[in-house]
Amino acid sequence: MGLIKQIHDYFWHRYYDRELAKLNRKKKIINIEQAGNIGILFNVVDVKTYEKVTGFVRYLQDKGKNVKVLGFINNKSTPYYCPPKLAYDYFTTKDLNWYKRPSNHFVNDFMRLNFDLCINLDLHNSKPLQYVSGLSMARLKVGPWSEDSEKFFDLMIKIDDKDDLSEYIKQVNYYLSQLKPSTNEKI
C-alpha cells in the first residue's frame, strides 16, 4: 500500500469515525413486508449489475414499496445504460473529495432520508458506499458481510461468491422476509 493511499485511508477513517459517533438515528428491526421506504445503494460496475439492481427495485416497487436508489460510478461520467429516472440518482469520482468522501446533493439527501431499510448491494465494499451506508439515517441497514463492516450495518449477509449479485439479492430478500420485528425499538 502506497504512502498516499495510507494517508487517504487514515483521514477517511478519522473523519468517518467522528461523523459516525455524532449520528443519532432510531434503529429498529423491520422486515421487508413492513418497510414502506427503502434505500438501495449499489456500485455501477457494468450493465449486468445495473440490470440486476433494476430488477430488484422493480420487484420491490411492485410490492408497493417506495424505493430510492443511489449508484456510485467509479468513473468521471455516467455510462449510457444509466438513464435519468425519478427513483435513481448517481454520483461519480468527480463527486469525491481528496479523502474519497462523497459530497454532492444526491448523496446528502440520501443520507438524510429516514428509510425503513437501507440495503447496500455493493459486494466489494467501496469506501464511498460504505460512507453513505454508515451515515444513513435508515432504521435498519443491511449490507454484505466483512470483518470491518460492523460499524456500517445492522445486518450483514455473507455469501461465498463475492461476485454473485443475484445470489446476494436473493439472500437479502430471504433474510429480510424472515425477520420478526420486536416491540423493542433498539437493535
Total of domains in the chain = 1
- Residue 52, φ and ψ in degrees, nearest 5: -65, -40
- Residue 184 falls inside a structural domain: no
**Which cell numbers hold the place of 150?**
460492523
Query: Residue 13 — pLDDT band, cuts 50, 70, 90?
Result: confident
pLDDT of 58 over the 70 cut:
yes
Give the E-state strand segments of 30-115 in sequence order: 37-43, 66-73, 88-92
- Residue 17 falls inside a structural domain: yes
pLDDT of 174 over the 70 cut:
yes
d(CA 66, CA 64): 7
pLDDT of 133 over the 50 cut:
yes
- Give the residue among 21, 12, 31 at the shortest CA–CA distance from 116: 31
CB 141 within 8 A of CB 133: yes
CA distances to 15, 24, 61, 164 from 19, in Å: 6, 10, 32, 32
- Residue 186 falls inside a structural domain: no
Domain of 164, CATH number, reads 3.40.50
pLDDT at 187: 47
pLDDT of 178 over the 70 cut:
yes
- Residue 10 falls inside a structural domain: yes
pTM: 0.90
What mean pLDDT value characterizes the chain? 90
- Residue 89 falls inside a structural domain: yes
- Residue 185 falls inside a structural domain: no
- Residue 187 falls inside a structural domain: no
Q: What domain range includes position 169?
A: 3-178
Higher-confidence residue of 26 and 40: namely 40
pLDDT at 182: 65
Q: Kindly report, residue by residue over 143-153, the tens digit of the pLDDT.
A: 999 887 787 89
**From edge to edge, which strands make up the β-sheet containing 37-43?**
88-92, 66-73, 37-43, 117-120, 140-144, 155-157
87-103 average pLDDT score: 90
